[in-house]
Amino acid sequence: MKDTELSLIVVIYGLYLWDCLHWIEPGAIALTATAASGWKKTEITELTYTLLGRAPVLRNPFLFTPGLIIAATTSGKHLSAVELATQVKAIRKQTRLLLFASTVSAIMFLVVLPAIVKLGLISFYWKPLLIALALAHFFAMGSFFYSTPEWRKQDSASYRPTIFSLALNPLAALRSADLYSKWRFSHISSDSPGLASLLAEK
């Protein structure tokens, strides 16, 4: 494998991992879904590493379900354990097509593409590969548009730049379910009892 091919693979995975990072401000609490069907809490303390006053939160790069909640203020809406759990289940049911599309797209961009590059076959299969990647990305974007009608109708000011940036960045589009989850729960107060309930789930 040539240095240029290795560099391309490193760039692909590096950019994807960067899109799995989210940054929270002081006072905010971030909950990220884990592979064990639980939730992990992250908040800024005096010992927390920060960059320009923000702390990094890494979302599991192998999970494509909507699993990101960032509560940035105590003045938001207080949700009970039942209300929050119901909303989480509703979002996951609503984004089943998006989950499937993101998984297909991830296989194409994170498995097939690097494999072809590593094997040195990119010069032979670049045309069908390009078509397959474009179709996978189109499927992912169409699924995101279909799965997020509330965001599109209620907050078009943030929806339009989001979907535009995802359309231009196929790797970021793999994490679109997290962006929807982040928007859907952006109104929650950081001291909502429902957050503690999620953390207590096994």
What are the structure tokens assigned to 188, written together? 């929650």
Average pLDDT, the chain: 88
Alpha carbons 68 and 37: distance in angstroms, whole number = 13
Dihedral of CA atoms 69, 70, 71, 72 in degrees, nearest 10, equals -170
Closest by CA to 175, choosing from 85, 54, 68, 97, is 68
pLDDT of 28-70, one tens digit each? Answer: 888 898 887 788 888 776 667 777 778 888 999 999 989 888 8
Residue ranges making up the domain that contains 22: 3-200
Round to the nearest angstrom and report the end-to-end CA distance of the chain: 44
Q: Per the structure, how many domains does the chain have? A: 1
Res 47: pLDDT:
65
| Residue 198 to residue 120: CA distance in whole angstroms | 46
Q: Are 113 and 83 in contact (CB under 8 A)?
A: no
For the whole model, what pTM was predicted? 0.87
What phi and psi, each to the nearest 5 degrees, are found at residue 189? -75, 145
- When pLDDT is cut at 50, 70 and 90, the band that residue 197 belongs to is confident
What pLDDT is attached to residue 174?
96
Amino acid in position 136: A
**For residue range 136-162, what is the model confidence (pLDDT) as tens digits?**
999 999 999 999 999 999 999 999 999
Task: Report the C-alpha gap between 133 and 126 in whole angstroms.
Answer: 10
The closest of 144, 147, 146 to 162, measured between CA atoms, is 144
